[in-house]
Structure 1
Amino acid sequence: MPSSPNVLWGRVGGGFPAPARLDRLLRHAPTAAVLFTSILVAVQLPWVVLPVDGAGADPRRGVWALASAVLLLVPHCAQVRAATAGVRLRGGPWALAFMVAVVLAVLPVVGAHWLPVLYAPAVSALLVLSRPWAVPVAVALLVGVVPLGLLMGVDGFTAIWYVFAAVFRGIAVYALISLSGSATRLQSARTALASEAVLVERQRLDWEIRRRLDVALQQIAHRGGRAANERDPAWRAGELRAVTAVARRTLTETRRLVGRHHVTSWRTELDTAVSLLAAAGISVAVSTPASLPDADDAEFRAALRESVARLLDDQPAGACRIEVTVRDDRPRVEVRGLAGGEQPWSG
């Protein structure tokens, strides 16, 4: 399986970033859905307070309607917010029964104009009830607006208008909730896919590292055993140099393999290079600019890794200098091995 350069260790899903638009939708969807359904209930309040059939405006109807709206919206908005997050609250059927009771209880006081708010219990029925019951209960709540309106003395045309008002509001709210839920499920699927990709890539990387280390250790053990049994000092020294070269080359290759899956700042990359050289027995003197911001720089990272690999592959030096300079507000690096007589400066 080819290595994926987009998988970033330490951040699940880093290689599969969700679009910014989807992120914003998921972040604001619960609030938008709650605000939208609250507005649809609130716009019905003026119809309750306004004069009816030539009678004057009655603020008391508005007070009762406002109290009913608050009692209705508290459980309804909680269910809407939970549904946009893909969660179903406990006690949903009891909360649904409470909402229906709240609306029906105030109808004799506030009048038939309050009937369209039955869309809210209908939507809640689709959200909290199981599939065999959700749709029939929601339809019954919406269709029941007609007989309720006729019993309260409105004409058939007005009763049908109430039904359409409730249906259209319910469709609008439920569509918004469904869209948010679908986006949440899509995001969850993307995260799960990214997590699986990270796991597969990590397993592949572990296998590759084990394979390379196994080959290198076998070579080191074989050559080290021969050098231990050899009496010729010159030949033994050559074998030990070969063993050291194999160890350094394996260390460099392993670092390259692991390094492809890390995005680090240039200072972190520099610290890693210093640690690698120190592990190889090479003392390092480093000079860095203090004013340069610490940020990721792919060109710097590639140049430093190439220079360190070349230094380890060549005839090893006892010390080296790493000098970081600034050019066009970006870091540049130079790595130079020192001969035996040279002394490294400190930066």
Structure 2
Amino acid sequence: MDGAAERTRLGRAVRLAPGAALVCSVLLPIVQVALAFGYPGSGLLTGVWSLVATATYLPFHLRHVWHAARGVRPPAGAWTLVAMAAVIIGATPLAGGTWPRAYVALVVSAMLVLPSRLANPLSAVLLIASGLAGRGLGMTWTDVPWLWFTVLCGSTAMLMLVWLAAALARLQSAREALAQQAVAQERRRIDDDVHRTLGAALEAIASRGQATCDRLARGERSGLTADLTRLSEDARETLADARQRVRGYRRPSLRAELETAAALLSAAGVRTRLVLPQGPLPATIDDRPRAALRAIVTRLLRDHASRTCVIMVSVRDGRVRLELRTDDAAETIEVPA
């Protein structure tokens, strides 16, 4: 799959993932409210209490899920979590025997809103509280472990879905940041190259032209024809050099491709080291070796078994060789000089 298709698929996943998390966050409360009306020992009143309490706390919960799925903490999340907890805990004696399963949403919101040092112990307390609430609503002690298991599994499944959506959002942000970094590096390289080569040549031509004008103003005409001829030839050579460099700038930079590959692997958790030779490198890289390098990097990003990678660049007999060594494999790419 080429880069454009990969970016399109990632963008679609990032757009759809928060919505999928919201849908799943709504389904469980809907099922719970439906069961509240027909659960043994429950009546119309408990069903109504369950419906009202769910309609009250669910917007807070969905707000937490929506922000977390996009990789950010919800603003004023602690206050909305407190309001959500007040509704769920306050409705526990009134909403029937199925209501302790609403603690799933409370555990999920606590994990999404609070820092881990607070969220983990609070989630454990809420898990225990759900079993005690079930016991207080008539559940036998033998059924309490099953309730704990369902609350734990439900909250874990929801958290995995939300965290996956957040990871996709962070991955897209990292790719965009790396792309911007690569563009900035390429612009700096072009600017330095132009200033060092064409800038110096143009300054020399301007200085020689000014000197010729000064000689002409003083009436010194001897040798002006030869000087102007050499000046014209140098200007044409500089123009040809500028055109050649512009054509080269349209081709991607080898160093930028290598640095981008190393940055992508490092961002994905692969410890990557880029080893460059002491001598100069070709300024650009052709389409074929560039595609091969990107294909290897894409495969390493998908291969979660790779933990380390060394990108070695060597120059032998005027030819550049790229070697990517991972934990258990090595691949080589030849780059024409």
- TM-score (ref. length: structure 1): 0.63
Q: How many residues matched?
A: 244
Q: Corresponding residue for 1:213?
A: 199
Aligned amino acid, residue 235 of structure 2: A
Correspondence for 1:222? 208
Q: Structure 1: which amino acid aligns with 2:7?
A: P
What letter is aligned with 2:17?
Answer: A
| Distance of aligned partners of 1:29 and 1:256 in 2 relative to their CA distance in 1, 3 Å threshold | farther
Report the CA distance between 1:128 and its aligned residue.
1.3
1:101 match: 86
Quick check: 1:44–1:114 contact (8 Å CA) kept in 2? yes
Name the aligned partner's letter for residue 29 of structure 2: V
Question: In the alignment, which residue of structure 2 is the partner of 1:10?
Answer: none
The correspondence for 1:193, drawn from 161, 178, 190, is: 178
1:223–1:91 Cα change, 3 Å = closer
- Cα distance change on mapping 1:221 and 1:91 into 2, 3 Å: closer
Structure 2: which 5+ runs fail to align? 252-337
Secondary structure of the structure 2 residue equivalent to 1:109? coil
Structure 2 residue aligned with 1:26: 14
* Cα distance between partner residues in 2 of 1:74 and 1:46: 18
Match of 1:145 in 2: 130
Change (3 A) 1:219 1:137: same
Task: Report the 3-state secondary structure (helix = DSSP H, G, I; strand = E; otherwise coil) of the residue aligned with 1:35.
Answer: helix
SS where residue 92 of structure 2 aligns? helix
How much has 1:223 moved relative to structure 2?
A: 6.2
| Shift in CA distance, 166/260, structure 1 to aligned 2, threshold 3 Å | farther
Could you tell me whether the CA contact under 8 Å between 1:16 and 1:190 is conserved in 2?
no
| Equivalent-residue separation in structure 2 for 1:50 and 1:248 (angstroms) | 90
SS at match of 1:87: coil
The whole-number CA distance in structure 2 between the counterparts of 1:224 and 1:38 is 78
SS in 2 for 1:231: coil
- Give me the whole-angstrom Cα distance separating, in 1, the residues matched to 2:236 and 2:128: 80
Contact 1:83 1:177 in 2 (8 A): yes
What is the CA distance between 1:170 and its match in structure 2? 0.6
Is 1:48 paired with 2:36?
A: yes
Distance 1:224 1:105, change over 3 A: closer
**CA apart distance, 1:125:** 0.8
Task: Check if 1:231 corresponds to 2:216.
Answer: no
Take 1:206 and 1:17, find their aligned partners in 2: how far apart are those partners?
31
Of structures 1 and 2, the one with the larger relative CO (CA 8 A, separation 6+) is 1
Q: What RMSD, in angstroms, separates the aligned Cα atoms of the two structures?
A: 2.7
Structure 2 matches for 1:261-276, cutoff 5 A? none
- Structure 1 spans left out of the alignment, 5+ residues: 1-14, 264-347
Give secondary structure in 1 for the equivalent of 2:221: coil
